[in-house]
Structure 1
Amino acid sequence: MKQVDPIILCFHEEQEYLHFCTNLPKKIRKRMRHYPRWHCCAMEKDDYNHLKERMNQAENQEHERKVSIESNVQYHLHETVSANQQITPWGVSAVKAPEVWKISTGSGVRVGILDTGIDGKHPDLRENIKGGVNTVDRTSPFIDQNGHGTHVAGTVAALNNDYGVVGVAPNVELYALKAFSKDGSASLTDIAEAIHWAIDHKIQIINMSFGSRETSTVLHRAIKEALKHGILMIASSGNAAETLDYPAGHKEVLAVGAIDRKGKVAEFSNFGRTLNYVQPGVDILSTWPTPPKYNVLSGTSMATPHLVGLCALLLSRAPHLTPVQVKHHLDRSTVKLNKISSRRQGRGVVVASKLLAQLND
């Protein structure tokens, strides 16, 4: 029976229910749904309106008879939020990326994630992954057995697809530069080799969410060579509440610290006079290689991909910009945090709306 706004009649006595049903016109009785066990029946609204006057007359004649009238109430499962409902992580909102997606989504920009690899089968990433290299083991693909690289990649470029999460620049071309093993460690030579692969494959931005207290001539040479080829390098400052780690400490690299939801610099965030910016890096939700495929992490590693995504939004609209010119635009697009020294926040928080507005100046 097709029901339009069905009406439920609930009789208090079985006899009243039976009496009512047997005295109905046959056409209406056929269109009804009967629930004799509960002394109830359901009918279409039009049929109910037609019978209302008759029912009222019957009520006046038989005061003992009682009937209640209900609508066909709808109930819903107590489901948790599913992966089919896309969430915009707080950091992506804080840097105001969604405000500029009508102008730029990072399309055409080649970003290398120098990390533990990327989960190439992740539904929020697979369409954006265009290739990569595994310098730990050239005979193996860039599978992420740690999770760190996949998390970083999601903040940069998780798809805007009504599923899971969305990244700062959801149409970036991602390249996995796998130099870190399952335990999260990497050799100097594997990192340098990954940078050279990026040079050969015309990567435009490299995300370097790692560091060491020690500097290195080899790594510094690789970084300077990449800069000569127009690659913008962005690195996390470190999580020990002390001076900058390397490679963030190299002048050719943009160094990024972390802030929390309240706009405060995270207690763990490394600092120094060469710190460039701070970005969201506490309780960041992003992609993950194992179920439930999403995870929340904190660290300057999580702050860095926010800036990488912002630079991709800029380069997508202005691909001619050099790393020096990009930095100039970034410096003019920050919001200063109150009562916090430059050593702790650099120039402040870069926001997308200010960054892309400069292209119209």
Structure 2
Amino acid sequence: MRRVASGLTALTAVVALAACSPATPGGRAIPGGTPGAKTAAHPGEYLVFYAGGKQRQAMEAVQRAGGTTVGQDARLGYLLAKGGGDAFVTGLGADQAIVGVSPDRAIGMATAERTGSAAFPDASSFTKKGAGEPLANRQWDMRMIGADRAHAKAPGSKQVLVGIIDTGVDGKHPDIAPNFDRGLSRNFVTDKPKDDDGETLDGPCEASGCKDPVDADDDGHGTHVASTIASPINGIGIAGVAPGVRLVNIRAGQDSGFFFLKPSLDALTYAADIGVDVVNMSYYVDPWLFNCSANKSDTRKQQLEQQAIITGMQRALDYARKKGVTLISALGNGSTDLGHPKVDDKSPGYPRGDEKVRRIDNSCINVPAESGGVISVSAVGPSGRKAIYSDYGLEQTDLAAPGGDVLDGKGSKATRSILAAVPEHVLRAGGRIDSSGRPKGADVVRDCTRGPCSYYQYLDGTSMAAPHATGVAAILISRFGKPGAGGLALDPATVQDLLYKSATHKACPSPRQYVYKAYGETDTHTCEGGPSRNGFYGHGIVDAWKAATFTP
């Protein structure tokens, strides 16, 4: 979304700049001082996570620290408390019943990068009509994983619910509406016009009370993800990996791309409670790109916040998985070996400008990509190589999928990215179409084959890779699931096993050190592991055709 994850080299920083849309806000530099050292001037609300069975002791600790308990969630073991600033937080942290304390504020962002502002060549050579949906010929990603063939064999069942935990879904988009379940969809976010420093965050509210309807997406990221998973076969635009399943918008992200911790927790527990089968999480929870429980360069307050993120999200993920939700996440776009991270200079990322440089190691994790029970997906370009921006790591990469790579070949081409639906109003706001609705660049495509025109955009990112894996998981659940809450159900451990068995193994490149070259810069990534499991491709590239046809 707004920025690439940490670990950027000069090469990937240049690539990121070429990939971000004009609307992408940049960070603010703080002149002098210590970033992130501000003190709350008035009481705020905090998520206070307590050790198992210590709810009463936690409430007493809140009172001793001068705060008030105003809510709680016993499912995930936390209190919602009001208190005043750093002294309140550190006072709580000294109590043995408390395992983490986080402000209830925006602390994350989606992990995909836009390709909208790049100087892409004309795409007229890609307009030849082919079989299937009107824009099927542009979907190299679906051909790579055999989804185009799998559609006739196993399009997915309407009894399978796919949750999109993201910035929202445009449920009125012509190429999403037939599969969109508005009744089950929820928005756990209230738009925030300005951040804690008074800088523009989400901008003016579009809806009464700053609460967008459940079929809205003012960013476009969640709509693109949903489209890749399950755009229907309806003679309009494209078809998703599993065009027959139902989509549920479970919004946890701000219009600006930031995420609150509590909405992320609420989204996961809601998905679990209504019987969602698989969720797609193409974002990371932040302000800490890498969450470290005891980094010496962090204040006690910052340590407690990271402990809360690690603990709270793991509890929510465990709750969802135990209730039958398969958890799929984007791995990240920092071009970083997550098994050997060294520096985090992107945290804390909220408010913008609070970032500092700190040394990190493998004890620090990206959440939810490195959380337990999550299937994390790296990205490949159209040639099948690991995308230049994609994070990787032997322990961290579970699967690979098409995520796009504008630099995977000679020059830079938008059509090497992933094409999927985008809300028209988002394109208008970003200046990507003119007043009559004509696209201004090769990264945007309009389809007027049937009725009102619908719009699509080429995007790059592991955010685009994860929904391919989510769609394949939906196919597997459709085939092997049994009647359960919400429709069909299949144990997440079984789904994971079937995903791995149906994936196409891809060995590390030879030599293992792959050198990426672009814009006069070079970057070297080292692939560890064997053909059946390695740091670039995990257990392999997801395969929709195998998922639709194989016998376990």
Q: Which bin holds the TM-score, normalised by the shorter protein?
A: 0.7 to 0.9
Given that 2:508 and 2:536 are in contact with CA atoms closer than 8 Å, whether structure 1 keeps it comes out as no
Provide the secondary structure at the position in 1 that maps to 2:255: coil
> Deviation digits for residues 85-119 of structure 1, max 9, x if unmatched?
24251111111012222331111210000001011
What's the CA shift for 1:168?
0.4
Report the counterpart of residue 351 of structure 1 in structure 2: 543
C-alpha offsets along residues 112-164 of structure 1, whole Å, 9 cap, x if unaligned? 00001011110000011103111013953131000000000000001111211
The reply on whether 1:298 has 2:420 as its aligned counterpart is no
2:290 to 209, 213, 216: 213
* 1:102 maps onto 2:102 in alignment: no
| Structure 2 equivalent of residue 288 of structure 1 | 422
Q: Is the 8 A contact 1:112 1:205 kept in 2?
A: yes
Instruction: Tell me what 2:217 maps to.
Output: 144
Q: Quote the sequence identity (%).
A: 34
Could you tell me which runs of 5 or more consecutive residues in structure 1 were left unpaired when the two chains were aligned: 1-79
User: 2:173 corresponds to which letter in structure 1?
Assistant: H
Amino acid at match of 1:345: Y
Note if 1:277 corresponds to 2:399: yes
Corresponding position of 2:236: 163
Amino acid at match of 1:179: A
Amino acid corresponding to residue 350 of structure 1 in structure 2: V
Counterpart CA distance in 1 for 2:543 and 2:140 is 13
Query: CA separation in 1, counterparts of 2:259 and 2:383?
Result: 34
* Partner Cα distance (1:216, 1:306) in 2: 26
5 Å-filtered alignment, 1:166-185, equals: 166-185=239-258
Shift in Å at residue 81 of structure 1?
7.4
Counterpart in 1 of 2:167?
A: 116
User: Is residue 273–residue 323 contact of structure 2 (8 Å, CA) maintained in 1?
Assistant: no
Query: Comparing both structures, which one devotes a greater share of its residues to helix?
Result: 1
| More displaced stretch, 190-199 vs 329-338 | 329-338
Instruction: Report how far residue 332 of structure 1 moved.
Output: 1.3
Contact 1:129-1:175 at 8 Å conserved across structures: yes
The answer for the alignment partner of 2:498 in structure 1 is 329
Distance 1:251 1:339 in 2: 25
Q: Secondary structure at the match of 2:379?
A: strand
Deviation at 1:209, TM superposition (A): 0.2
How many residues align? The count is 281
From the superposition, tell whether residues 128 and 347 of structure 1 become closer, same or farther in structure 2 (CA, over 3 Å). Answer: same
TM-score (norm 1): 0.74
Per-residue Cα deviation, 1:58-78 (whole angstroms, up to 9, x for no partner) = xxxxxxxxxxxxxxxxxxxxx
Counterpart of 2:142 (choices 92, 95, 108) is 92
Q: Work out whether residues 329 and 358 of structure 1, in 8 Å CA contact, stay in contact via their aligned partners in 2.
A: no
- After TM superposition, give the deviation of residue 335 of structure 1 in Å: 1.7
Distance (Å, rounded) in 2 between the aligned partners of 1:188 and 1:120: 24
User: Residue type of the partner of 2:212?
Assistant: S
The secondary structure found in structure 2 opposite 1:345 is coil
Q: CA deviation at 1:274?
A: 2.7
Tell me the residue number matched to 1:318.
Answer: 480
Larger Rg: 1
Distance 1:97 1:199, change over 3 A: same
Q: Contact conserved, 1:96 with 1:352, CA < 8 A, in 2?
A: yes
Q: Which residue of 2 aligns with 1:265?
A: 386
Mapped to 1, the partners of 2:160 and 2:548 lie a distance apart of: 15
- Give the residue type in structure 2 aligned to 1:106: G
CA-based RMSD of the aligned residues comes to: 2.0
TM-score w.r.t. the length of structure 2 is 0.49
Cα distance in 2, alignment partners of residues 239 and 352 from structure 1: 24
- CA deviation string 1:301-357 (max 9, x = no partner): 000000000111111111133111111111112222243431121111021222233
Match of 2:334 in 1: 240
Instruction: Give the ranges of 4+ consecutive aligned residues of structure 1 lying more than 4 Å apart after TM superposition.
Output: none
Contact 2:278/2:327, CA 8 A, preserved across alignment: yes
Contact 2:399–2:540 (8 Å) recurs in 1: yes
Q: Secondary structure in 2 aligned to 1:303?
A: helix
Unaligned ranges ≥5, structure 2? 1-126, 191-208, 292-308, 339-364, 405-416, 428-445, 447-454, 483-489, 510-526, 528-533
Q: Secondary structure at the match of 1:113?
A: strand
SS at match of 2:327: strand
Between the aligned partners of 1:120 and 1:334, the Cα distance in structure 2 is 31
